[in-house]
Structure 1
Amino acid sequence: MKTQEIGQSGMIASRVALGVMRMDALDAADAARTVAVAHDSGIDYFDTADIYGFHDHAAHASSKRFGQAWKDAGLDRSTIFIQTKFGIDYSFGENDGGANGYDFSAKHLIDALDHELEALQTDYVDAVLLHRIDTLFELNEVAEAFDALESSGKVRHFGVSNMGPWQIELLQSGLRQKLEINQLQFGLMHTQMLDAEIQFNMASDPAADRTGGILPYSRLKHMTIQAWCPFQSGTEYGPFVGNEHFPELNAELTRLAGKYGSTPNGIAVAWILRHPAGIQPLLGSMTPERIRQMAAGADIELERRDWWSLYQAAGNPLM
């Protein structure tokens, strides 16, 4: 597994990470096996969030399952990176609950992180991200929380999720800590960041006003983009690999899998990694064999024309 620096943090981690949002749906043995397979495949970066627990209908449930899983898998804490997210005010209940809003107050952030540490069975996380934007946030409150979490040793690095350049700039203006990461949806069937660049000043220009230029901004600021849900189609049909509703894309994935001695899952990951922005795919699968196939994509360097052929096969115009 190739590695990369995350932002300018000094963390040298696997180019592919595993998200454990759905790990609460696994029993303890399967969770440990999933973590072990990911680690054996070269993945040493794991992502969760305080609100992940949608199967068990409980906050921190996926973090708790992962916290036991990395221990049961026999991993050394010092050899893996654990990242979580906070800032969403979410209630679970008999009717599955729901989001009450966002809360970047110092108390909410500090309390949420403490509960996450307990669930994860660790005394620190390598990174924590603000989970979407709280439009009511006060800079001094966020700064207070970050300073307290950093000085206590509970958090080593910081970032954001689903934010644009000006939101990041506003936050950064009041923080001592550099925001190293931005978690954004991206993949072959969710290419708005690319479309905004490629279709700029064209009649088809559908996305330029929505992305805020986040892709070039991230490169300029040396922020690592983590691509969440990279295998989702963005439609009611779910994942696109092997899905009959996307024949052209799957035909091209299969052709290139043969060319590079890989699998369609591996090629879909290689496509993300080929971009020079250093995007880190965040896998969401809990199936060991799929994780192996996806992780193997980190060893493939797609030729330029093959990268563009996949972009077109996904339904994107070039001119």
Structure 2
Amino acid sequence: MEYLDFELPIKELEEQLDKCTIIGQESNVDVTETCKQIEKKLIDTKKSIYKNLTAWQRVQLSRHPSRPYTMDHIRALTGNTFLELFGDRAFKDDKAMVGGLAKIGGQSFMIIGQQKGFNTKTRQYRNFGMANPEGYRKALRLMKMAEKFGIPVVTLVDTPGAYPGLEAEERGQGEAIARNIFEMCRLKTPIITVIVGEGASGGALGIGVGDRVYMLENTWYSVISPESCSSILWRSWEYKEQAAEALKLTSFDMKKQKLIDDIIPEPLGGAHYDRETTFKSVEEYIMKAYNELKDLSTAELVAQRMDKYSKMGEFKE
């Protein structure tokens, strides 16, 4: 298990508990009471730390290397029913964007999401979860296919942003994302969006328009990352913590501003501490949303979605 800087007190207590357990196993000394005291202190420390997380600490948790990624969620939610589909039928297949047909709880869904890698080789293969225009065009192709056959869409968002390279801009990165937002607003099938990690910039918005939008507790959603915001405003990445607070990017900030529909709770310590519980919670929210949306007519569905996004933000005419 890797520990973040603010989790070091937890690491020390867990090491003490391991040593205490080993002493008890290898000697005749009764350390039961000591182990219980350490366990109690460990639980109290965890509760104290995770109850008072700053915005930057939640950003760090959303990037934890042990955190389940999109494909982990897909495998857990769908078992072995996932049939991955490839290509945008225009340029090539984008490995950062995955999608395909699967069943969750007996119901067919078109599942689309960004996939990061878990080591150096797979991170390069997946382009660190940063999709090119062909990735967004593939996502749109799959969504239009789902619309044609009346299949609801689930999108899983986890990206540090759309790929900012020159070749991506040459192939129309901005147009591809804008087209997805436009088409998703009027897609004639339910769309359920879950932010499972990072929800950064247009890269997230390209598959982030939904009838129901949920965020896992320790995720973030913003127009820009704290580091990039810091480098623009302060000409340095050193102010990323202040930037994270100012951006109001946590799930609780998003819920307060009515930009998402609900927060999916995570186990104490984050999704990586208890993956099974996290997967079960995500499935419950997806099925709850589907049951709320499935009986709406196409006209009602699109009208409610358009109304939902029209009400966001403050403006004067």
Q: Same fold (TM over 0.5)?
A: no
The TM-score bracket by the shorter chain reads 0.3 to 0.5
For the pair shown, which has the larger CA radius of gyration, 1 or 2? Answer: 2
Q: Which has the higher helix share?
A: 2
Q: TM-score, normalised by structure 1?
A: 0.34
Q: TM-score, normalised by structure 2?
A: 0.34
Highest relative contact order (Cα 8 Å, sep 6+), 1 or 2?
1
